[in-house]
Structure 1
Amino acid sequence: MVRIVFIPGYTEDPAIFDTLAPLLPAHQALRISNQEELSTGFTTKAPDVVRYAAYLAQKYAIRERDIVIGHSMGGWIGMHLKQQTGCKAILVGSFTDPKKVRMPYQQPFLLKILTYLGIIQGRRLNKTFKKLYPHDESRALYTYLLDRLPTFSRRYVWQQLKLIFSPVPALTVSPDIRIHARRDTVVKYPDEAYVQVAGDHFSVVFHAAEVAAPIQAFMQAVMPA
């Protein structure tokens, strides 16, 4: 049986897909909670996206028949699931090169220091991020995600950043679909071909019908009647 596997992004939970999921063809769905997995299941001391994808693939028996839809960091994880299992990978506001992430610091060692000093979750830094955020449409959601940061353990925040920025071998596979908003100020738009949608980084929520359209067409083309 074909499954749709939803993987959320940094600081997000599976609810990020609540608007999109009902618009897709009815199939068995699996929603991954990165917080749950990184807190209780995937407990390696050296997490990176390759190891995490291998863990998810084994735990949930993800195979070639499955379709992974990842938002932001979730798409990066989805690409490594495709690399390892041959599953389909659909990226929404995501990346195949972490350099596309608009983050002032990307060096894992420095990010670890900033995290464990409490700076990444600090009120001053997040107040600056909120002030600079340019999109009224998704401002409340962006603010909510930043406000969640202090509720997470520093270990969990560091695990997520390590999944994004730890060096890993280059991917040798490509996404089945890239969906991206040109006005995304969290992840730069791809150099490769992509389906452009309205909105910003959170088009998956605020323009779900537009995001769903190419996914629906893809699923109809590749899945048996």
Structure 2
Amino acid sequence: MLKLYFLLTVLLAGEAFATGIEKPLPPMRVIYIPGFGEEPSMFDKIHPHIAGEKIFVDNWKLLADVTGEGFSATVYAQYLVALFHITNADVVIGHSLGGWVAINIKQLTGCRVVQIGSWTDVRRVMPLPINPKIIYAFTRSGLVFNKLTQMMMVKLHYKNQPSKPVFEEVFSNLRTRSKELVVKQLKLIFNPLHLPVTVSPELRIHAKADHIVAYPRTDFVEVPGDHFTLVTHPQPVYNAINDLLQL
């Protein structure tokens, strides 16, 4: 009887040990958040080169589900954290507005964040010439995002640039899609936060020729191109991200 007990104990211990070493660790989750007016396809040139389970946030779809007064980047970050069960084990990569949402997610969860052409201080964004509430009203009436504005922006910043078709596609979204969803994206940028940002991203990636978001005042990795460098010059972008993730 004693021998049988000993044998069972050894077998059970061996099974537990084997189970412990064979159980795979859960894959790293990488959550991608596109910028103002953008689609998740903005990350198509970089995400195939980055490991991990991938989740792509579609702001155009999800923002329609967030209702109520007092909308801000804090509120949207809370919504995404609950929807995708984001924890400090996740990595969030955001471009432009997406990076701003990402840093607000880090404020709530402690996750790692990569910002591409983004900010932690809204004053680094191309400033609005007038009160944001007036811009919201003008946006609803079609006076801000229209063909004339698009032509002027292309002439000023994107003429003969490889990023021109990328900018035109994004601006086309802003012209033709739901004006209320465009306003919501503007509110993510300019409405006051409910919870101030006191954290920093693990990695900032920025191009010198970015005409939309000013140079960061803290350490960052400089890459060629402009605001849409992740499309026009993807390799330096995903190399910098992989260097971080392999630490």
The normalised TM-score by structure 1 is 0.93
Measure how far apart 1:103 and its partner are.
3.9
Question: Cα distance 1:220–1:106, how it changes in 2: closer, same or farther (>3 A)?
Answer: farther
What is the identity, as a one-letter code, of the residue corresponding to 1:85?
Answer: T
Greater per-residue helix proportion: 2
1:116-155 alignment runs, 5 A limit: 116-134=140-158, 136-155=161-180
Residue 213 of structure 1 aligns with which residue?
239
SS at match of 1:196: strand
Measure how far apart 1:106 and its partner are.
6.1
What is the identity, as a one-letter code, of the residue corresponding to 2:86?
Answer: I
1:55-134 alignment runs, 5 A limit: 55-105=79-129, 107-134=131-158
Residue 193 of structure 1 aligns with which residue?
219
**Contact (CA 8 Å) 2:31, 2:91: kept in 1 or not?**
yes
Measure how far apart 1:19 and its partner are.
0.4
Alignment gaps of 5+ in structure 2 = 1-25
- Aligned counterparts of 2:94 and 2:173: Cα–Cα separation in 1: 20
Measure how far apart 1:173 and its partner are.
0.4
Match of 1:37 among 45, 62, 69: 62
Measure how far apart 1:172 and its partner are.
0.8
SS at match of 1:133: helix
**Contact (CA 8 Å) 2:38, 2:173: kept in 1 or not?**
no
Pairing 1:46–2:70 present: yes
- Aligned counterparts of 1:24 and 1:106: Cα–Cα separation in 2: 40
Measure how far apart 1:147 and its partner are.
1.9
**Contact (CA 8 Å) 1:75, 1:95: kept in 2 or not?**
yes
Return structure 1 stretches of 4+ with deviation > 4 angstroms.
Answer: none
Larger radius of gyration: 2
Measure how far apart 1:79 and its partner are.
0.1
Residue 188 of structure 2 aligns with which residue?
163
- Aligned counterparts of 2:66 and 2:212: Cα–Cα separation in 1: 26
Question: Cα distance 1:106–1:208, how it changes in 2: closer, same or farther (>3 A)?
Answer: farther
SS at match of 1:65: coil
What is the identity, as a one-letter code, of the residue corresponding to 1:149?
Answer: L
**Contact (CA 8 Å) 1:107, 1:165: kept in 2 or not?**
no
Measure how far apart 1:220 and its partner are.
0.9
SS at match of 2:67: coil
- Aligned counterparts of 2:162 and 2:127: Cα–Cα separation in 1: 21
Measure how far apart 1:22 and its partner are.
0.7
Quote the sequence identity (%): 35
What is the identity, as a one-letter code, of the residue corresponding to 1:218?
Answer: L
Measure how far apart 1:84 and its partner are.
0.2
Measure how far apart 1:96 and its partner are.
0.8
**Contact (CA 8 Å) 2:71, 2:188: kept in 1 or not?**
yes
Cα RMSD after superposing both structures:
1.4
SS at match of 1:183: coil
Q: Deviations over 1:35-63 (max 9, x none)?
A: 00012x21234321000000000011000
Question: Cα distance 1:63–1:155, how it changes in 2: closer, same or farther (>3 A)?
Answer: same
- Aligned counterparts of 1:55 and 1:182: Cα–Cα separation in 2: 33
- Aligned counterparts of 1:33 and 1:191: Cα–Cα separation in 2: 29
Alignment gaps of 5+ in structure 1 = none
- Of 201-210 and 10-19, deviating more is 201-210
The normalised TM-score by structure 2 is 0.85
Aligned residues: 219
